[in-house]
Amino acid sequence: MKTPTIRAAVVALLLLPVAACAGSPQKGATGADRDTLVWASSAAPNSLDIAHGFNNASTTIQLAVLDTMVTLDAKGAPAPGLATSWTQPTPDSYEFTLRKAVTFTDGSPLTADDAAYSLSRHLDPAVASQAASYFTTVKKAEAVGTDKVRVTLTRPNPAFLSVAAIAWQVVPRKLAEAHPRDLGSPEVGTVGTGPFKVVKFSLTSGTVLERNESYWGPKPALRRVEIKSISDAETLRMAVRSGEVDATDGLNARDARKWTNLPGVTTSFYPGNNIAYLSLAVGNGPLKDVHVRRAIAHAVDRQALTTLMTGGHGTTARAMLPMPQMTALYGDDTPKFPDHPFDLAAAKAELAKSAYPDGFTMAVPYSSGSDGATVMQAVAADLAKIGIKLTMEPSPGDRYVAMLMDHKGLGVQYVNLSYGTPEPIEVLPDMIGRAAAKPQGFNFSGYGSAELDARLDALSEATGQERQDQVTALLTEIGEQVPYVPLFHMDNGIALRDGFTAPGLSVWNPNFFVVIRPAGK
Amino acid sequence: MAVLTLVARRLAAALVLLGALSVITYGLLVASPGGPEQVLLGTRPSTPETRAAIRAEYHLDDPFPLRYARWLGDAVHGDFGVSIYSREPVADVIADRLPVTAGLAGYALLITFAVGVPVGLVAAMGRGGLLDQGITLGSLVLLAVPPFAMSILLLYGFAVTLGWFPVFGAGETFAERVTHLTLPALALAAAQGAMVVRQMRAAALDLAGQDFLTFARARGLPRARVWIGYALRNAALPVLTVGGLLLAANLTGALFVEQAFGLHGLGALLIAAVSQKDIPVVQALVLFSGAIVVVVNLLIDLAYLVVDPRVRHGAVAL
Amino acid sequence: MRGVLAGVLGLAILVGLFGSHLAPYDPATQDLALGAAGPDAAHWLGTDDLGRDVLSRLLTGAGSALLWPVLVALGTTTLSTSLGLFAGYRLGWIDALMMRTVDLAIAMPGMLVLIVLVGVLGGGYGWSVLAMAVLFTPGDIRVIRSLTLAQRDLAYAEAARTLGLPPRRVMFRHLLPNLAPTVVSNALLSFVAALVSLAGLSFLGIGLPAGTPDWGLMVEENRDLLDLNPWASVAPVVLITLIATSATLLGDRLFDTLSKGGSR
């Protein structure tokens, strides 16, 4: 028999790892070509079109490749994008003036028709756009002449510009029309006018972007961006630690400590546009009683919960709006809302006023293996101290979300939602509007009335001081009636290896690949 | 003739198997709460029109038999539909992932055999000795370490602490592929190699007492020559069987290892697709895995036919 | 060797039964200020990220870590032994039907079916355990059936039948004892496979809910602490490996002993 061959094979095999190590790519953070960034996200981007990929991993790439007509400045106010300016001829219409001499990365010129179609396609049921709910007040968008786009709304909507800054991405009409369903898929891809162009887009082996050398705006400092996805959080951390990945936004504030410890890695955090809260279903047994709801609010140690869940990179929530929206609305002059500070005596006193002075037992479904599991366990421990026993019913994430969205088994629920715009009107109708208190809506408390709906309606058209006052009134009512217990705001963060910096990163400018630059450039 | 009958019978059985598998998975996915619209829309408000359009596009409101029949009709024509998540044709999604999984499976099998067969032989040759006991115990321990724990330990030890290997991904070029897949392949091969060691040792020991080996020894052939020449050839079938089953298992997705090493293979795809309710992808994956199992089993049986004349002539029923 | 084996498994059973009483701390009590720390006098195996005592979690988790695999092994063994005996003894169309079903079941990619099943059914851990027991069964049925086939026509079985004993009596009183070595070692192998696989399910996040003191979950949840307190994730791996190895060895030994002493 061929013994020597077998022996050789064994030897070769034993040597293989050694040979392999010799060739293994150990990236150093040195050298001149550090204008290439390896970025990793924790989920794979699924589409380069916001109509089909309205999620963090996807929009991160969309932002780099596609321009929006309007952008947001550092304070969250609308600023020029592909539109250099705009007017508002009537309260319910806008006229945008298109930037001149802009071309798509395939060489074709940007026209007003492209821009108009890029908005109106979200209204087309054939597209089934995920951003459609942003544009429900848009009646039509049309090109006027060669460089103007007119948008007509069904009613005045001061939030329109902010919403447009997120979702009105401009793509060539020809391409979008040919692919209503699969624009942005790995097969079709996309073409934009943005600072980067797509060289490769694969769900498996990653995405590669290169600088758009004919970009109309300031050139990004990075020449090339390679985007990977690593779904396992710990593997992701190891990849950054080893230098195989230069940067990621896949870090949870809660795990910040694990990242700040890594040598050669800096983390930066900024307030995220989100709010975590407990929803109390006001139609469910004991929760009908406002005293019970207030007792719950008093009994939950939100400070401890904030520390536990955000690891020092977050703030305790005092009202039912994301932090950046509060800042955009009130500046530094946030009013004092009715609050129920952690106080067990006060909690017991409130409970004594209710029909359940000795507490009660309630079944609480929650999503196992998520942040919700941790929060609900802490909440259950807190509430047990005043006699309210929550029977924990774990179910897998997708199953739980399905139940939640069907509005089944609502009671005490942990919810953490992220938003896109600086507009409270994006949040409040979801919280206390009756239209959202149905399956697929986000009003899990079921709190609402015709009167509230009318006030929300008025808010959607309000501007200036009037808008501020109306929001204050609504938040005050939520604070008093406690359909929700605001818990905390979580910071967003990115981790960067030495050699890169990200100056000016903020919630309104999350265009990572434009912001990140080689250190010293 | 025996070969043709065998193949025909196996193919018929395969059709039944694949049919049963596809009905079961389809039924389960349809019956489970939540649907693709939740995955597609995420936790974001949506308009009723959007939701209706999605339900219509994926025929979510049709009764189960109709949906299944529609899917089956397309599948028979080789059209496995479009991934709900990425809107790519399912065939492309799988073809995209296959090289990673196939590379990993092949690499792991190579290590498994290259190490397992000689070590098993060595153990058998030194039966009862210290080396044999050591090898036997060692293989038991390797069998008992959960594959995901093995992955974590290898990852942490060799990729993170020592920095000899990359931490994640599958690499692009061939050389990169080899470096990237070495640790995952080792993690897979650890337990499987142990299995082959045990199999090889047992098979070789079975033969040790048999006449032809005694005879060969009596002829004065060198010990090593006897063992390797005769024992290896005669142990080939059981070891081949194990190898085939391992290959099938690895090809249908080395879930744990892929997950731990951030490999975008078929196993990772399955986990994602199940949680995303991406029914077309799950269906195709399940069928693909079933087909691999069937094909591998068939190949094993055919190998038996080729190697063993008794089986070939129908003396042993299959 | 035998002493070591008995010692390890005996200890495992004791800890499995009384572990929660032996635990020095409440396994759920957090000490966020302490966080993850290496072993010291107060915490022999250190603490995890939330400052929970690793030793206490290991001891408390032993119960579920061992109980579920035992249930899988019992379920699989009972099911496969009775079905295998029945098919091998009765033969005929029942046997044919069962064996074709077994062929089918064996050809199914097991882990894949399990993941689809658990992902879809969701809910309780019991489902995973039940599904696993069912998945392990077909292979064992085949083994038991082929052994039954070999035994059913031997003189002693023939004699029992001639005496007019009812089939059930022949199967369970006469055939079963002769299959005992295989049944016992199969049961132990099922236990080992279940121990390792259930830990794997926890790793994939489809096992027990987060926060449960479970060995598989501990490996998964604490692997990011390998720098700070490696024991938090290495200790459960060591325990799983130790128990699985011992159980396999015990199976081998029992098989040898039983087949030497109890044949015919």
Q: What is the pLDDT of residues B84-108, one digit of tens each?
A: 888 888 998 899 889 999 999 999 9
For residues A29 and A499, what is the distance between their CA atoms, to the nearest angstrom?
6
The letter for the amino acid at A442 is F
Q: Is C127 on the interface with B (CB under 8 A)?
A: no
Contact residues, A window 149-178, toward C, CB-based 8 Å cutoff: none
HSE-up of residue B210 (Cα within 13 Å, Cβ side): 12
SS3 assignment for A314-374: EEECCCCCCHHHHHHHHCCCCCCCCCCCCCHHHHHHHHHHCCCCCCCEEEEEEECCCHHHH
- Is residue B66 within 8 A of residue B73, CB to CB? The reply is no
Extended beta strands in A165-264, E state? 196-202, 206-211, 224-229, 247-248
Tell me if C227 and A261 make a contact (CB, 8 A cut-off): yes
Which pLDDT tens digit goes with each residue over A441-490? 899 999 999 999 999 999 988 988 999 999 999 999 999 999 999 999 99
Of C103, C233, C241, the CB nearest to B141: C241
Determine the distance from the C-alpha atom of residue C237 to the mean position of all C-alpha atoms in its chain, rounded to a whole number: 16
Q: Is the pLDDT of residue A25 over 90?
A: no
Q: Which residues in chain A are contacts of C122 at CB distance < 8 A?
A: 395-396, 398-399
Quote the minimal CA–CA distance from A180 to chain B in Å: 11
Q: In what helix (H) or strand (E) does residue A450 lie, and over which residues does it extend? A: helix A450-461
Residue A410, SS3?
Answer: coil
Structure tokens at A149: 């786009």
Give the dihedral sign, CA A45/A49/A55/A57: positive
How close C234 gets to chain B, by Cα (Å)? 9
What tokens does A103 get? 């071309």
CA-to-CA distance for A82 and A102, rounded, in angstroms?
8
Query: Nearest chain A Cα to B263, which residue?
Result: A230
Nearest residue of C to residue B254 by CA position? C111
Give yes or no for residue A66 having a pLDDT over 70.
yes
Which of B146, B156, B289 has the CB atom closest to C200's CB atom? B146
Task: State residue C8's pLDDT score.
Answer: 82
What three-state secondary structure class fits A78? strand
The residue count of chain A comes to 521
List CB contacts (< 8 A) between C210 and chain A.
Answer: 368-370, 373-374
Q: What's the average model confidence in pLDDT over B306-310?
A: 65
Residues 6+ apart with CB under 8 A from A178: none
CA B199 to chain centre: 18
Quick check: A374 and C206 CB within 8 A?
no
d(CA C59, CA C215): 10
DSSP state of A169: B
More confident residue, B14 or B150: B150
Q: Do A234 and C223 touch (CB under 8 A)?
A: yes
The share of chain A scoring above pLDDT 70, in percent, equals: 93
**Would you say how long chain C is, in residues?**
264
From B198, B199, B207, select the one nearest B228 (Cα to Cα): B207
Task: Share the mean pLDDT of chain A.
Answer: 88
Q: Tell me the percentage of chain C whose pLDDT exceeds 90.
A: 6
Closest in C103, C196, C204 to B259, CB measured: C204
Contacts of B274 in chain C (CB under 8 A): 115-116, 119-120
Q: How far apart are CA B29 and CA C258, in angstroms?
A: 46
Instruction: Please tell me which chains touch B, using 3 or more CB pairs under 8 Å as the contact test.
Output: A, C
Q: Which two tokens stand for residue A342?
A: 């952690």
The neighbour count for residue B120, using CB atoms within 10 Å, is 29
CA-nearest residue to C235 within chain B is B149
**Alpha helix segments (H runs only) across B209-278:** 211-218, 223-226, 232-251, 255-260, 266-276
Residue pairs between chains A and C whose CB atoms are closer than 8 Å: 34
Q: Nearest-CA distance from B24 to chain C in Å? A: 9
* A222: confidence class by pLDDT, cuts 50, 70, 90: very high
pLDDT confidence of residue A13:
39
Cβ–Cβ gap C115/B274 under 8 Å: yes
Which residue, among A260, A267, A256, A331, has the nearest Cα to A490 in the 3D structure? A256
Provide the token pair at B199. 């199999």
Q: Supply the DSSP symbol for B266.
A: H
Q: Is the pLDDT of residue B312 over 60?
A: no
Predicted confidence at residue A345, as pLDDT, reads: 94
Give the 3-state secondary structure of residue A190: coil
How far is residue A209's CA from residue A7's CA, in Å, rounded to a whole number? Answer: 47
**Two tokens, residue B93:** 């999604």
Residues of B in contact with A3 (CB under 8 A): 224-225, 228
Instruction: Give the nearest chain A residue to B158 (CA atoms).
Output: A21
Task: Name the range with the highest mean pLDDT among A120-124, B146-150, B288-292, C62-66.
Answer: A120-124
Task: Find, among C61, C58, C59, C35, the residue nearest to C47 by Cα.
Answer: C35
C51 → chain A, closest CA residue:
A308
Rg (CA), chain C: 22
Helix axes C125-152, C110-121, angle to 10 degrees: 140
pLDDT band at A20 (very low <50, low <70, confident <90, very high): very low
User: What CA–CA distance (Å, rounded) separates C144 from C183?
Assistant: 8
Nearest-Cα distance to chain B for A186, in Å, is: 7
Q: Residue C103: is its pLDDT beyond 80?
A: no
Q: Return residues 208-237 of C near B (CB < 8 Å).
A: 216, 219-220, 223, 226, 233-234, 237
More confident residue, A95 or B55: A95
Segment among A20-24, A92-96, B59-63, B129-133 with least mean pLDDT: A20-24
Tell which of C112, C189, C196 to mutate to test the B interface (max B CBs under 10 Å): C112
Residue in A192, A51, A65 with CA at minimum distance from that of residue A126: A51
Nearest residue of B to residue A17 by CA position? B182
The amino acid occupying position B63 is: P
Distance CA C202, CA C197 (A): 9
Distance CA B258, CA B289 (A): 16
**Torsion of the alpha carbons at A361, A365, A368 and A371, rounded to the nearest 10:** -80
If you count DSSP H runs as helices and E runs as strands, how many of each does chain B have, helices first? Answer: 15, 0
| Contact residues on chain C for A395, CB-CB shorter than 8 A | 122-123
Residues from chain B that touch C108, judged by Cβ atoms under 8 A, are 17, 21, 290, 293
Q: Which helix (H) or strand (E) covers residue A83, if one does?
A: strand A83-87
For residue B309, what pLDDT is reported? 60
Cα–Cα distance measured from residue A47 to residue A59, given in angstroms and rounded to the nearest whole number: 9
A326: left (phi over 0), alpha (psi -120 to 50) or beta: alpha
C118/chain B closest Cα distance in angstroms: 10
Q: Classify A447 as helix, strand or coil.
A: coil
What single-letter DSSP state applies at residue A435? G
Residue A8, pLDDT score = 37
**Whether B31 contacts chain A with CB within 8 A:** no
Is C4 an interface residue toward B (CB < 8 Å)? no
Tell me the β-bridge partners of A494.
A268
Determine the average pLDDT of the residues in A290-298: 96
Nearest-Cα residue of chain A relative to residue C202: A369
- Per-residue pLDDT, averaged over C251-258, amounts to 82
Greater pLDDT, B241 or C183: C183
Inter-chain CB proximity B140 and C104 less than 8 Å: no
- Measure the N-to-C terminal CA separation of chain C; round to a whole number of Å: 29
Say how many Å lie between the first and final Cα of chain B, rounded: 14
The secondary element (H helix, E strand) that includes residue A496 is strand A484-497
Read off the pLDDT of each residue in B132-144 and give the average, rounded to a whole number.
Answer: 90
CA–CA distance, A30 with C2 (Å, rounded to integer): 58
Give the 3-state secondary structure of residue A47.
coil
Contact flag B146-C237 (C-beta cutoff 8 Å):
yes
Could you tell me the CA-to-CA distances from C32 to A303, A490, C222, C229 in Å, in that order? Answer: 13, 18, 15, 15
Percent of chain A exceeding pLDDT 90 equals 64
- Range name among A2-16, A41-55, A134-148 with the lowest pLDDT average: A2-16
- Rounded CA-CA distance C56/C25 in Å is 6
Q: Which two tokens stand for residue A370?
A: 């998520």
CB of C153 within 8 A of CB of C62?
Answer: no
Q: Which residues contact A447 (CB under 8 A, 6 or more apart)?
A: A282, A431, A432, A437, A478, A481, A483, A484
The verdict on a CB contact (< 8 Å) between A308 and C123 is no
Task: Chain C: give the shortest CA distance to residue A395, in Å.
Answer: 5
Can you tell me the distance from the alpha carbon of B256 to that of A235, in angstroms, rounded to the nearest whole number? Answer: 13
Question: Cα separation of B277 and A521, whole Å?
Answer: 45
Name the residue facing B167 among A55, A238, A398 (closest C-beta).
A238
Higher-confidence residue of B56 and A173: namely A173
Contact yes or no for C179/C81 (Cβ under 8 A): yes
Which position has the higher pLDDT, A26 or C217? C217
Nearest-5° Cα angle at A240, A238 to A241: 60
> What is the band of B200 on the pLDDT scale with cuts at 50, 70, 90?
confident
Q: Is the pLDDT reported for residue A24 higher than 60?
A: no
Q: With an 8 Å Cβ cutoff, are A369 and C210 in contact?
A: yes
For C225, name the nearest residue in chain A, comparing CA atoms only: A258
Between CA A420 and CA A272 the distance in angstroms is 10
Give the one of C206, C224, C227 whose C-beta lies nearest to A396's C-beta.
C206
**B32 contacts on A by Cβ (under 8 Å):** 399
Task: Give residue A482's pLDDT.
Answer: 95
Which residue, A458, A52, A39, is CA-closest to A245? Answer: A39
Tokens representing residue C121 in the block: 């059914």
**In this complex, is the C-beta atom of A502 within 8 Å of any C-beta atom belonging to chain C?**
no
Residue-wise pLDDT tens digits, B271-301: 888 777 788 888 888 888 888 888 887 888 7
Cβ atoms of A235 and A243 closer than 8 Å: no
Lowest mean pLDDT among A438-442, C64-68, C104-108: C104-108
Residues of B in contact with C204 (CB under 8 A): 148, 255-256, 259, 271
| B224 to chain A, closest Cα gap in Å | 10
Record the tokens describing residue C197, joined without a space: 């696989």
In 3-state terms, what secondary structure has residue A384?
helix
Highest mean pLDDT among A246-260, A352-366, C189-203: A352-366
